[in-house]
Chains A and B, each alone.
Chain A
Amino acid sequence: DVVMTQTPVSLSVSLGGQTSISCRSSQSLVHSDGNTYLYWYLQKPGQSPQLLIYKVSNRFSGVPDRFSGSGSGTDFTLKISRVEPEDLGVYYCYQGTHYPNTFGAGTKLELK
């Protein structure tokens, strides 16, 4: 299985600040169709996961431009700027290129 290594495990950030989360895969996530199926999710307390970014860098509908995704191959980053209270929760990266699809272990974003 493809291992998704997320770092850090937890982050402490000030409101209005900026932060980033890294996700590295044990294999390239470039699919034979040319797409890279790397997604980012946020699970807020008491809620189900919500899609933030799909295929590396595309913001899902309604996601503010404070969230941005980048990367290629095996190395990916989620950046969050101007952190707001509603951004707190656990962030997951997820790969849909290889079966079985796999998730990172999660990064908990907390307020400083």
Chain B
Amino acid sequence: EVQLQESGPGLVKPSQSLSLTCSVTGYSITSNYWGWIRKFPGNKMEWMGYISYSGSTSYNPSLKSRISITRDTSKNQFFLQLNSVTTEDTATYYCARYLDAWGQGASVTVSS
């Protein structure tokens, strides 16, 4: 059974970078697609992007050049980096195997 677990700082200062790790067990990230999705306060959900089994990526244009998704296949982990964060980036961040298995989510607050 695949399991995903997000980890990273719960508090980030404005203008800094948000970095999260998704650790995957029970399934290799060299298969399938692996995504990041966030849920804002309230119910709004936003697809952020994915990294594929081959390492190719696709990002939401709304995040422009701020986002990067990378991976470490030796550790079976993939990563989210979001640069130049503002308070508008406060959300719960989920990693997911596209899109049938999700992590529990990591709550990130952007505040000084």
Residue ranges of A at the interface with B (Cβ–Cβ < 8 Å): 1, 39, 47-51, 54, 60, 90, 92, 94, 96, 99-103, 105-106, 108
Contact = CB atoms under 8 A, between A and B. Distances in A.
10 contacts: A49-B45, A51-B100, A90-B43, A92-B43, A99-B58, A101-B47, A103-B44, A103-B45, A103-B47, A106-B44
A50 B102 contact: yes
B60 interface: yes
Contacts of A1: 62
B103 interface: yes
Contacts of B62: 1, 100
A102 B47 contact: yes
Given A99-B58, A100-B60, A100-B62, A48 B103 contact: yes
B46 interface: yes
B104 interface: yes
B94 interface: yes
B99 interface: yes
Given A49-B45, A49-B94, A105-B44, 16 more contacts: A1-B62, A39-B99, A47-B104, A48-B94, A48-B102, A48-B104, A49-B102, A51-B99, A51-B101, A92-B43, A94-B47, A99-B58, A103-B44, A103-B46, A105-B43, A106-B45
